[in-house]
């Protein structure tokens, strides 16, 4: 599925935060992030990847995330 924020440029992926186990959806291009695992409920992105990780006291790096699958 393509990102509703940046259009056809980015793919949406399901990710797991390695240290917390939380699952989120993010765009591989624009870094928009949704705190949901249900693509049917995506609205405006809540945060970007770096802000989400900082909010959880983690380094703002994609290496903190594990790719589960494309959505």
CB 15 within 8 A of CB 66: yes
Q: What is this structure's pTM?
A: 0.88
Binned at pLDDT 50, 70 and 90, residue 25 comes out as: very high
Binned at pLDDT 50, 70 and 90, residue 30 comes out as: very high
- CA–CA distance, 71 with 37 (Å, rounded to integer): 9
Q: How far apart are the first and last CA of the chain?
A: 6
Binned at pLDDT 50, 70 and 90, residue 46 comes out as: confident
The tokens for 59 are 């380094």
For residue 43, give every residue at least 6 positions away whose Cβ sits within 8 Å of its Cβ, in sequence order, or none: 34
The tokens for 43 are 């609205």
Residue 35 pLDDT exceeds 80: yes
Query: Which pLDDT does position 1 carry in this prediction?
Result: 78
Mean pLDDT of the chain: 91
Nearest to 58 by CA among 17, 7, 10, 5: 17
């Amino acid at each position: 599925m393509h990102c509703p924020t940046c259009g056809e440029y980015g793919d949406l992926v399901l990710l797991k935060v390695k240290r917390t186990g939380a699952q989120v959806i993010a765009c591989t291009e624009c870094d928009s992030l949704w705190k949901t695992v249900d693509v049917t409920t995506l609205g405006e992105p809540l945060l970007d990847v770096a802000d989400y990780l900082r909010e959880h006291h983690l380094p703002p790096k994609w290496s903190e995330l594990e790719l589960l699958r494309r959505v």
